[in-house]
Structure 1
Amino acid sequence: MQQLSRNHRDIAPASARDFPGPSSCTPSCWGRRPLTDGPMTAWIVLPVSLSAFSITGIWIVYAMAVMNHHVCPVENWSYNLTCTEETAKRGFPKTCCTLQDIPLISKCGCYPPESCLFSLIGNVGAFMVVMVCMLRYAQVIEHSHHGWTNTSALVSGCINALGLVMVGNFQVDHAKTLHYVGAGVAFPAGLLFVCLQCVLTYRIAETALDYWMAHHAAAICEWVFTVLVLVYYGTFTYEFGTVNSDTIMATLMKRSQHHHPGAGVIMGGIGKGVAMGCGARSLKSPGGSSTSTHLNCTPESSAML
């Protein structure tokens, strides 16, 4: 019995040391504490709901805008200067589209009834973004990271939410300035939040899955972003179909006028002191065979160069 009692006294401190309670656990051991709070796992619904609600919502807004003839379908690539007659029936896509009918996300949410849903998505989405930012901020603190990176991520996420509220409630056709201010705030702040969270995910990583999220998933996102940027560069093929020697000369003329304002461009001596390109010339428009007058011999036309 004495031997058993001695063994029991030897084991008890070890077990208490391996599984510290709330009173004995210091901030340095928070990141190693076993997660025993089962009901708290319900918070995983929040980020999933944010993504599902927002993505589904904006596609519903797009469908409503198309059916109400407020924008043209995304598969449309033909636009006219004016549309004098609308022959499409209500509930079907537009048959005559102008540049005002391009299905941008903001344009899809300009007019009722889809504008009401667009505002709801912006407000609810912004609230959920703030919740995600605050919970993530607390989670990082729990892992004993109190640096400026975590604080900056929280601030940028909240600014992103503020921009979303402005975008959702100030439609681009009715309050253009406020809408663009909101978009100009939301996009950079959201990008900064994503970058800072990638850094924080790497710093607090403890398990193999954590490191997978910080390295492997980041590599995939990097590849996707790089490919999209390169694809965008490739779209300049359309515009560059009209590049010729006059295009290069326009750049030289602009630089010359910048250094010698009001003097014009002197080519080959005083006898040729006439602005290059003076007089009408024809230029083939990109993607077509039609021609249009590009430049006239007027001061206004020369200044445009």
Structure 2
Amino acid sequence: MSCWLLLPLLTSVVSIAGTWTVYGLALRNGHVCPLYNWVYNRSCSPDTSVRCCSVRNMPFVSTSGMNLPENSLYSAVLNAVSVLFALVCIFRHAQIVERKGDEAVLSKAAMIIGFFGSIGGFIAGNCNPSVLMVLHYFGATLCFVSGCIYTILQTALTFRLHLTGKECFLVPLRAVLTIFQVVFSICYLAFFVHPDTKRQHIGAICEWILATNFYVFIMSFSFEFYYITSAVLYALISRPDDEKVAILSEPRGTNMATFDK
């Protein structure tokens, strides 16, 4: 068994368990309202003894990690996941180049999109929305949009490639997860900017669903990562003049024919 299958599993577990733990801490500390709450007030008195829900503490993912002490865990989780997801993108691309060079262009595009998503997650995790709102929402938007495109590209690659022999199961699974990702991303963006609090609350629920759904999608890469071999690792460290193209960038003077085996 290849230990590399643990990489997408670890990425997903850290993200899902970490963000939901942040939400639990924020809920216990009274910093956000429950996801099942649908009643919001215009404002809340700071000295009230009864839980009061307003737009300020609506349970978005970023709101859950806005205050101390959960803010520290929120930043740590997003930083760790950003690095792990970038590694998943690199190894996924390396495996495709090593096994099927014809799809290297599409795979490289997916890897670059994945890098944008990692950068967006890093920005969102380190820019508190209460202080750096514009940067935070820029990072979050970059993360979610890149996530949508990444799932679409990887589903297309799964359909076109046969690396594991389990594509009859993986293609429909990833197609369903991709549809969910696109639909809930559109709903989140539409409801997030809506002035009605109930629709904003629906947007918060959509955000949690799409964030969790994306890392379930990443978890499915464990099937491909089980088959990672030393040849894939060699592709990662090969010199530019070797027969396999460098994974992260093309050397000067090469063309796309370098991808062919």
CA contact (8 A) 2:148 2:181 kept: no
Q: 2:8 aligns with which of 37, 47, 50?
A: 47
Alignment of 1:137-176 (within 5 A): 137-146=93-102, 147-176=104-133
Amino acid at match of 1:77: W
Match of 2:166, SS state, is helix
Greater shift, 129-138 or 94-103, is seen at 94-103
Amino acid at match of 1:55: I
Greater shift, 193-202 or 218-227, is seen at 218-227
2:173 alignment partner in structure 1: 217
CA contact (8 A) 1:86 1:95 kept: no
Deviations, residues 237-262 of structure 1 (Å, cap 9, x unaligned): xx8xxxxxxxxxxxxxxxxxxxxxxx
Deviations, residues 184-238 of structure 1 (Å, cap 9, x unaligned): 2111111111111111112221554123212x21443366568869999xx9xxx
Bigger radius of gyration, 1 or 2? Answer: 1
TM-score, normalising length: structure 1: 0.57
CA distance in 1, matches of 2:82, 2:187: 31
CA contact (8 A) 2:22 2:70 kept: yes
Q: 1:113 aligns with which of 49, 69, 73?
A: 69
Q: Give the CA deviation at 1:96.
A: 1.5
Alignment of 1:1-305 (within 5 A): 38=1, 41-84=2-45, 86-88=47-49, 95-146=51-102, 147-205=104-162, 208-214=165-171, 216-221=172-177, 224=180
CA distance in 1, matches of 2:138, 2:178: 28
RMSD: 2.5
Name the CA shift for 1:229/1:83 in 2 (closer, same or farther; >3 Å). closer
Q: Give the CA deviation at 1:144.
A: 2.5
Match of 1:187, SS state, is helix
2:217 alignment partner in structure 1: none
CA distance in 2, matches of 1:227, 1:157: 19
Identify unmatched segments of 5+ residues in structure 1.
Answer: 1-37, 89-93, 240-305
CA contact (8 A) 2:99 2:163 kept: no
CA contact (8 A) 1:72 1:101 kept: yes
1:35 alignment partner in structure 2: none
Aligned length in residues:
189
Amino acid at match of 1:197: Q
Q: Give the CA deviation at 1:86.
A: 3.8
Bigger helix share: 2
Larger relative CO (CA 8 A, sep 6+): 1 or 2? 2
CA contact (8 A) 1:110 1:172 kept: yes
Name the CA shift for 1:123/1:174 in 2 (closer, same or farther; >3 Å). same
CA distance in 2, matches of 1:160, 1:135: 16
